[in-house]
């Protein structure tokens, strides 16, 4: 039993909605929050030895749980150390990305302004190469520490991470777990940096349905199209299945207007992809991750 092992805090049968921004209905069988790398290794060894599926998550801000999760969810909330050395920031994978961006911006460090409105953790944001306003994590991450599938600690450079639009080496190799990142920023003028952040926050409030639970943009945009225009074009703005609804404020958001289930969100996604393909002959690429 996990309770008898040195793995950190263990909880059972917890609500998925407490650990994801979609706030979807469902239950996580086992939730583990390790305090350090040793405990993280212990829980992964336990899962592998007992053939139990497991997944490491950040803030759950890009996840759609299809149903109850009958394995182990591992959260790295306690991997939240922070050290600033000149223009380099050493930060734990569990540190809140928007909090990091805001705190460093207030100190006059420039480079993370784009991240102030991205509701993820450092590790999750590197995994997805999260970005906004024509910048992303690839622009600032110099290297990371990972736990490999062989449970060894290794450093990967930015080149090793093979960053591309909303993806990375980690996304293609989910058995590698980000533990810590080194980020490089530049010194700027605090008032100018904060003015940019404040103006973008105002714009998000005006254009995105932030008053409802969601996981941000559903589909990737490209140089050739904006996903929201295609979704609007098939008449799906406001389309609702159960309590999952395509936002009328921004059609590339699915929002939870009550007690939505993962299957409701997934059905909407599948319908949108099918109808966009039929009408525009475009294959939409899902930006969110479905967890089964």
Catalytic status, residue 287: yes
Alpha-carbon dihedral of residues 143, 147, 149, 154, nearest 10 degrees? Answer: 50
Q: Label the pairing between strands 69-75 and 54-57.
A: parallel
Catalytic status, residue 166: yes
Give this prediction's pTM: 0.95
Catalytic residue from among 158, 214, 217, 247: 217
pLDDT in tens, 60-109: 999 999 999 999 999 999 999 999 999 999 999 999 999 999 999 999 99
Which domains can be identified in the chain, with CATH numbers? Answer: 2-75 (3.30.43.10), 82-191 (3.30.465.10), 227-291 (3.90.78.10)
Q: pLDDT tens per residue, the chain (292 residues)? A: 898 999 999 999 999 999 999 999 999 999 999 999 999 999 999 999 999 999 999 999 999 999 999 999 999 999 999 999 999 999 999 999 999 999 999 999 999 999 999 999 999 999 999 999 999 999 999 999 999 999 999 999 999 999 999 999 999 999 999 999 999 999 999 999 999 999 999 999 999 999 999 999 999 999 899 999 999 999 999 999 999 999 999 999 999 999 999 999 999 999 999 999 999 999 999 999 999 9
Catalytic residue from among 113, 180, 214, 287: 287
Q: DSSP for 83-150? A: EEETTEEEEETTSBHHHHHHHHHHTTEES-GGGGG--SBHHHHHHHT-EETTEEGGGTEEEEEEE-TT
Catalytic status, residue 206: no
Query: Any idea which residue has 């003028």 for tokens?
Result: 189
E strands along the chain, which residues? Answer: 9-15, 27-33, 54-57, 63-65, 69-75, 82-85, 88-92, 109-110, 131-132, 135-136, 141-147, 153-157, 177-184, 186-187, 240-241, 244-246, 254-256, 289-291
Catalytic residue from among 110, 135, 143, 166: 166
Query: Any idea which residue has 């404020």 for tokens?
Result: 249
In Å, how far from its chain's centre is CA 270? 21
């Amino acid at each position: 039993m996990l309770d008898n092992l040195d793995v950190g805090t263990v909880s059972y049968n917890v609500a998925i909605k407490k650990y994801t921004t979609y706030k979807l209905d469902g239950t996580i069988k086992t939730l583990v929050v390790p305090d350090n790398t040793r405990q993280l290794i212990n829980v992964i060894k336990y899962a592998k030895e007992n053939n139990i599926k497991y997944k490491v998550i950040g803030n759950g801000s890009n996840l759609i749980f299809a149903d109850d999760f009958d394995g182990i969810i591992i959260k790295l909330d306690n991997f939240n150390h922070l050290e600033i050395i000149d223009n380099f920031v050493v930060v734990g994978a569990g540190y809140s990305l928007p909090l990091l961006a805001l705190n460093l911006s207030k100190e006059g460090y420039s480079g993370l302004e784009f991240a102030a409105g991205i509701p993820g953790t450092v590790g999750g944001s590197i995994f997805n190469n999260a970005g906004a306003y024509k910048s992303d994590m690839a622009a600032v991450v110099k290297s990371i520490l990972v736990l490999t599938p062989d449970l060894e600690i290794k450093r990967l450079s930015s080149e090793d991470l093979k960053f591309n639009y909303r993806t990375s080496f980690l996304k293609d190799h989910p058995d590698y777990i980000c533990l810590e990142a080194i980020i490089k920023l530049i010194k700027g003028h605090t008032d100018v940096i904060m003015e940019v952040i404040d103006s973008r926050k105002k714009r998000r409030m005006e254009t995105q349905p932030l008053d409802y639970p969601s996981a941000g943009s559903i589909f990737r945009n490209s140089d050739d199209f904006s996903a929201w225009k295609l979704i609007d074009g098939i008449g799906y703005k406001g389309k609702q299945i159960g309590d999952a609804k395509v936002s009328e404020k921004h059609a590339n958001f699915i929002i939870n207007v009550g007690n939505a289930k993962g299957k409701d969100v997934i059905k909407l996604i599948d319908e949108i992809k099918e109808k966009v393909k039929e009408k525009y002959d475009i294959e939409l690429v899902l930006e969110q991750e479905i967890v089964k």
